[in-house]
Structure 1
Amino acid sequence: MSEEALPGIRIVEDAQPEFEAVGAIQRGLHNYNQEMGGDYDREPVTLLVQDEEGHTLGGLLGLTFWGWLFIDWLWLAPEQRGKRLGEALLNRAEAIARGRGCRNVYTDTFSFQAPGFWQRNGYVEFGRLDDMPAGHARIWFRKPL
């Protein structure tokens, strides 16, 4: 297909799109998804690990919607690892999700991150994309709540 997709319509590459252009795409897809799947009832889950001075040393960022918790990010500074803080974050996020009526949770990680952490916490692999990045894999995990 050429640059001119239809009469009066063109496809444009934009490395730095304006907020309104990005918003139009997001709103359009969100509206369609809600028409098809019902109200998102989206709520963030944000848990921070902080020291006494309030510096963030890690945390968990997620989202609940459609009866699911999606864990997008879970990270701890290297000096905070191995102290069971990741498990504490996960348990707290799952409790929040249950309180919101969620029945399941899912996440994705890379083979070089910590797939064993998810498995030790009751998560089961349900998808894998090998060689992403080269020599590694992207792995999806889920768990019933």
Structure 2
Amino acid sequence: MTVSLHLTATPDPAEEAAARGALREANAEAGFPHDSRPLCVLLRDGQGQVVGGLVGRTGWSWLYAENLAVPPALRGAGWGQRLLAAAEAEARARFCIGARLDTYTFQARGFYEKQGYRVVGTIPDCPPGQTRFTMIKRLDAGEETR
């Protein structure tokens, strides 16, 4: 088979799907089929417009919280806690055993720790001058959360 490299910042959807598909096939052969499902908890204003929320997915029995945003005017009123709790409840309904997310020194590590998440990994200088924290929380009853 002859192959070549092609670098692009603008792959078409079919090209991106083919590239991702190669890894999905390898994972499936190893016994881990693709089972990712979107999970979104939205914050809407009085006009029904989305003003924040939690965007993530579940797969391989874990919740991956990819983005949690509460507008500045609503911070401190418990909306972040409610968004996270709703996502965790849905993840449990989908038989997830844990939740994973990333946050940064300039974001909300303390907030997540108050919700029972703990740091399991760090990447210094990501972005430069800051630290990226990978955090998890067990959702099953078998392990104490900290």
Instruction: Report if the CA contact (8 A) 1:57-1:80 is conserved.
Output: no
Q: Percent identity?
A: 36
Instruction: Report if the CA contact (8 A) 1:110-1:138 is conserved.
Output: yes
Matched, 1:18 2:12: yes
Matches within 5 A, 1:1-145: 8-145=2-139
- Let me know the Cα RMSD of the aligned residues: 1.4
CA shift for structure 1 position 35: 2.2
CA shift for structure 1 position 81: 1.0
- Which structure has the larger Rg over C-alpha atoms? 1
Instruction: Report if the CA contact (8 A) 2:63-2:88 is conserved.
Output: yes
In structure 2, what is the Cα distance between the partners aligned to 1:42 and 1:34?
A: 13
Gaps of 5+ in 2: 140-146
CA shift for structure 1 position 86: 0.4
- The number of residues matched between the two structures is 139
User: So what's the TM-score if we normalise by structure 2?
Assistant: 0.89
User: What amino acid does structure 2 have at the position aligned with 1:52?
Assistant: G
In structure 2, what is the Cα distance between the partners aligned to 1:92 and 1:43?
A: 16
Secondary structure (helix, strand or coil) at the match of 1:71 reads: strand
In structure 2, what is the Cα distance between the partners aligned to 1:93 and 1:36?
A: 29
Change (3 A) 1:83 1:37: farther
Instruction: Report if the CA contact (8 A) 2:24-2:33 is conserved.
Output: no
Instruction: Report if the CA contact (8 A) 1:111-1:138 is conserved.
Output: yes
Secondary structure (helix, strand or coil) at the match of 2:14 reads: helix
Secondary structure (helix, strand or coil) at the match of 2:4 reads: coil
CA shift for structure 1 position 92: 0.6
